[in-house]
Amino acid sequence: MSDVVDRKALWDITYGLYIVSSVSDTRTNGQIVNSVIQVSAEPPSIALSINKNNLTHRYIEDSGVLAVSVLEEDTPMPFIGLFGFKSGRDVDKMSQVACRNGETGCPIVTDNALSFMEGRVTGSVDCGTHTIFVAEITSSEVLKSGTPLTYAYYQNVKKGTASKNAPTYKGDLKSQETAQEKIVEGTMKKYVCGVCGYIYDPSEGDPEGNIAPGTPFEELPDDWTCPVCGASKDEFAPED
């Protein structure tokens, strides 16, 4: 890659946060996707980007159908972790959430969704690590009113991270941090989740998990789990 490409420039692009689901024979799967856009008014069409290694990618190629659920702003982090950091090869994600069968046969996640749309793939573009799928919407519905979850809110307010298969994955964040950013508040150490990269910051605690700011990692309850991916405490290691 040319050294005139500053990847940090790409970090300023704005996104939402969605679940994209699909089906292959009787198997279903879904995953978090941040890159979903409407690309045409007539016929109503959307485009989205999926990592080629993901199970959902294969299912979309197999069936040619997909659904998108637009997540609401207060979607719980464990729910995002289930779809963002766990593989459908290991867990049956759809059995753990509310969903319905779409008219295309595609499963549609309705938990924490403001609205959904399903459609048939009309084209695709090979983009290296990812494929852009274009789909014509065949049905859609607003489930409730509310504020859609943006990627910025997920990162800045909910302290979420990008999975390695996300188009926006920033690589090893630790190596990119400035020395100043690495200064640990007081004597309490930050701990990093070995599964998803979430960083537990004692000065902030885990408000969604009822952990007060100022709680050292060592004093977290034994049954505390990563708010992003659900990993247990023993998956965490002190930040370098």
Minimum gap (Å) between residue 195 Cβ and Fe ion: 4
Question: Segment contacting Fe ion (CB under 5 A): 70-78, 147-155, 183-191, 231-239?
Answer: 231-239
84 dihedral zone (left: phi>0; alpha: psi -120 to 50; beta)? alpha
CB 203 within 8 A of CB 233: no
**Residues between 157 and 196 that touch Fe ion (CB under 5 A):** 193, 195-196
Euclidean distance between CA atoms 27 and 96, whole angstroms:
14
Q: Is 228 among the residues that bind Fe ion (CB under 5 A)?
A: yes
Binding mask 189-218 for Fe ion (x = CB under 5 A): ----x-xx-x--------------------
User: What 3-state DSSP class applies to 103?
Assistant: coil
Using CB under 5 A, pick the residue from 50, 135, 162, 229 that binds Fe ion: 229
> Which of 44, 76 has the CB closer to Fe ion?
76
> Which of 61, 204 has the CB closer to Fe ion?
204
**Interface size with Fe ion, residues (CB under 5 A):** 8
> Which of 28, 31 has the CB closer to Fe ion?
31
Residue 62: φ, ψ to 5°: -65, -50
Whether omega for the bond prior to residue 43 falls within 30 degrees of 0, making it cis, is: yes
- Name which of 13, 137, 4 is nearest 67 in CA terms: 137
Contacts with Fe ion by CB under 5 A lie at: 193, 195-196, 198, 226, 228-229, 231
